[in-house]
Each structure stands twice: as structure tokens, then as C-alpha cells.
């Protein structure tokens, strides 16, 4: 019986391997779900809009002035960066205004200093 089992196993393994090889490409194509829809557009509060507008304008003006007068690139040394002018308490708290103003100021200063539009 041992010889019969060896003969059978000698032929069974290549048959199983051939079956796996021939049927591997016969599977169904993969289904890819469509991506989720984009998030709805976010509206920016008026307080942040004002801070972005005022901060960018002030930073751009100060950056251009410092570049023209060759004072060097020092955006955090200007008074406007620290004082954050233009705050209107009717629009909301000072903290978010200050943060948005300073971020916009730095962007504007960079563009003004390096004469970018």
C-alpha cells in the first residue's frame, strides 16, 4: 500500500498545483467603492475674515517697508504684530482674532518683504 500511496501522491500534487494556477485568474474583478462626497464648504466667521484681511494688509505693508529700508526680516518685532489693531468686540472674542491676525500678518509680511503678490 505504501507504493500505491506514493504513486498517487506523486501525481496528485502536480494536479492540485496546476488546478490552483489555472483557476487563480478566474476570480471576479475587484469592486472599488466610489470615494465619499467632499465635505460641505466651510463658512468663515466675520471675526476671522476681518482678522485675515487686516493682518495680511498690515503685514504686507510692514514687510515691504522693512525690505525697502533694509531693516531685515523681523515680522515678530513690529508693533502691529503684537497689538493686533482693528479688533471689533461686537464680532467675538479677542483670542481667535489675535491668532488669525498674527497668522495673516506673517503671510503678508513674507509676501511684502520678498515682493510677491
How many CB atoms neighbour CB 12 within 10 A? 11
Residue 61: the pLDDT is 96
Low-confidence ranges of the chain (pLDDT < 50): none
Cell numbers placing 73? 526680516
Please report, for the chain, the start and end positions of each structural domain, with discontinuous segments joined by +.
46-113
What is the rounded distance in angstroms from the CA atom of residue 109 to the CA atom of residue 58?
A: 8
Q: How many helices (H) and strands (E) does the chain have?
A: 4, 0
CA 59 to chain CA mean position, Å:
24
Q: What is the pTM of this model?
A: 0.64
Tens of pLDDT along 85-117? 999 999 999 999 999 999 999 999 999 999 865
Report the pLDDT value the prediction gives residue 27, as an integer from 0 to 100: 61
- pLDDT score recorded for residue 76: 94
Sequence length of the chain is 117
- Distance, in Å, from the CA atom of 60 to the CA atom of 81, rounded to the nearest integer, reads 12
Instruction: Write a three-state SS string for 67-116.
Output: HHHCCCCCHHHCHHHHHCCCCCCCCCCHHHHHHHHHHHHHHHHHHHHCCC
Amino acid at each position: 500500500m505504501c507504493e500505491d500511496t506514493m504513486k498517487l501522491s506523486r501525481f496528485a500534487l502536480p494536479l492540485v498545483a496546476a488546478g490552483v494556477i489555472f483557476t487563480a485568474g478566474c476570480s471576479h474583478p475587484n469592486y472599488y467603492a466610489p470615494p465619499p462626497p467632499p465635505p460641505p464648504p466651510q463658512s468663515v466667521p466675520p471675526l476671522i475674515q476681518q482678522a485675515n484681511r487686516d493682518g495680511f494688509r498690515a503685514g504686507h505693508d510692514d514687510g515691504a517697508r522693512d525690505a525697502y529700508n533694509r531693516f531685515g526680516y523681523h515680522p515678530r518685532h513690529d508693533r502691529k504684530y503684537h497689538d493686533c489693531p482693528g479688533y471689533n468686540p461686537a464680532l467675538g472674542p479677542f483670542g481667535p482674532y489675535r491668532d488669525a491676525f498674527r497668522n495673516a500678518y506673517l503671510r503678508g509680511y513674507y509676501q511684502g518683504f520678498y515682493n510677491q503678490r
